[in-house]
């Protein structure tokens, strides 16, 4: 077994396995929990040696009963920003990650894990992935807190010299249908236009942002996967790295891109933001790519318009 991918039936994970397959890699153990038919569908198109349920895999790791791979991509996690069970997130997103990290290091396997741009909170401290700033970050929700905990632990243990954490910004693209409310707005907008001919966006509750002009760093999943594979291959590189485009765009930009990809007339309605998320909402995100570029990563990122067009026309319009 050369490669382990946890969350391998999920969004970024299944796209990662597909990219590995395109490179001729099939000696892959996929770990996940198939709690949605779309996850099963994601697996159907992939080539891999073995699948294990997450709980079975975790128990096998604890018993040292898993063949040692060359690389562990740990992308499996509860990704819901609405999850309010602190103990579950601590167990699933922190303790599980810590166990797998220590196991990987013990066996000299390259460990690459998914962090999140949500750890930057409201962005008032900027979006630098300089590890010296980790302790000052202030996540806004429990999901972000669980990701922050591992980043902080890895830093304090001195492990960021040998492992890689990737802070994914707003990733969108194929194979995310199972994510429910956590699907990208591109995915949701496509379905909404199909059923109502309109897109609903949240109103702004900050004077410096007009409705729809809140900004996020949207990155197409194929670019996110490319960055992930690149960093996994740089064995002399360790640390936490941002994974975004470095070019924030507005929700209006995204909405117009979806309408254009569908050849539909724009129709946007602004709705109230639920009160329970108003004080946890990120109005602006932008990946600082200084560290990533310093490693030698030179590729340009897919524009929002090009990525949305490809996703809509070559995936969403063709799905069954």
Instruction: Give per-residue pLDDT as tens, 230-264.
Output: 999 999 999 999 999 999 999 999 999 999 999 99
Distance of alpha carbon 138 from alpha carbon 122, whole angstroms? 8
> Please, what is the end-to-end C-alpha distance for the chain in angstroms?
33
Using one digit for the tens of pLDDT, what is the confidence trace for 59-95? 999 998 999 999 999 999 988 887 888 998 989 899 9
- pTM for the whole structure: 0.96
Distance of alpha carbon 101 from alpha carbon 194, whole angstroms? 43
| pLDDT for the residue numbered 320 | 64
Of 96, 113, 120, 143, the active-site residue reads: 143
CATH architecture of 173-216+248-285+305-318: Alpha-Beta Complex (3.90)
pLDDT over 90, % of the chain: 90
Using one digit for the tens of pLDDT, what is the confidence trace for 267-288? 999 999 999 889 888 999 999 9
| pLDDT for the residue numbered 6 | 98
Low-confidence ranges of the chain (pLDDT < 70): 320
Task: Concatenate the DSSP letters of all residues of 81-134 into one string.
Answer: TT---HHHHIIIIIIHHHHHHHHHHHTT-EEEEEEEGGGGTTSTT-----GGGG
- Buried-state track 83-95, b at ≥16 Cβ within 10 A, e below 16: beeeeebeebbbe
Phi first, then psi, for residue 315 (nearest 5°) are -130, -65
Of 39, 168, 172, 179, the active-site residue reads: 179
Is residue 96 among the annotated active site residues?
A: no
Is residue 48 among the annotated active site residues?
A: no
Distance of alpha carbon 34 from alpha carbon 244, whole angstroms? 28
Cα 49 off chain centre by? 24
User: What dotted CATH number matches 3-171+219-244+287-299?
Assistant: 3.40.50.720
CB 282 within 8 A of CB 127: no
Which DSSP state fits 246?
A: S
Averaged pLDDT of the chain: 95
| pLDDT for the residue numbered 84 | 83
CB 160 within 8 A of CB 101: no
CB 252 within 8 A of CB 204: no
Q: Where are the domains of the chain?
A: 3-171+219-244+287-299, 173-216+248-285+305-318
């Amino acid at each position: 077994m050369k490669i382990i991918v946890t969350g391998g039936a999920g969004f970024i994970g299944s796209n990662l396995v597909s990219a590995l397959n395109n490179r001729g890699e099939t000696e892959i153990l996929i770990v996940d929990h198939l709690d949605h038919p779309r996850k099963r569908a994601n697996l159907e198109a992939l080539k891999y040696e073995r699948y294990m349920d997450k709980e079975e895999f975790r128990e096998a790791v604890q018993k040292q009963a898993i063949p040692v791979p060359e690389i562990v991509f740990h992308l499996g996690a509860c990704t819901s920003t609405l999850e309010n069970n602190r103990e579950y997130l601590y167990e699933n997103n922190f303790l599980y990650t810590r166990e797998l990290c220590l196991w990987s290091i013990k066996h000299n396997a390259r460990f690459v894990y998914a962090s999140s741009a949500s750890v930057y909170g409201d962005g008032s401290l900027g979006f630098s992935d300089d590890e010296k700033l980790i302790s000052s970050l202030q996540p806004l929700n429990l999901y972000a807190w669980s990701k922050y905990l591992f980043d902080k632990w890895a830093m304090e243990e001195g492990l960021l010299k040998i492992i890689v954490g990737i802070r994914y910004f707003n990733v969108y693209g194929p194979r995310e249908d199972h994510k429910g409310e956590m699907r990208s707005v591109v995915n949701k907008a496509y379905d909404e236009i199909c059923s109502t001919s309109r897109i609903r966006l949240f109103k702004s509750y900050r004077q410096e942002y007009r409705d729809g002009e809140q900004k996020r760093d949207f990155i197409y999943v194929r670019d996110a996967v490319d960055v992930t594979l690149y960093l996994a291959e740089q064995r002399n590189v360790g640390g936490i790295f941002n994974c975004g485009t470095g070019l924030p765009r507005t929700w209006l930009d995204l909405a117009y891109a979806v309408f254009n990809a569908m050849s539909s007339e724009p129709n946007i309605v602004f709705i109230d933001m639920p009160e329970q998320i108003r004080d946890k909402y990120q109005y602006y995100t932008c990946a600082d790519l200084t560290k990533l570029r310093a490693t030698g990563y030179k590729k340009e990122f897919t524009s929002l318009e090009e990525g949305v067009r490809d996703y809509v026309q070559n995936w969403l319009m063709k799905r069954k």
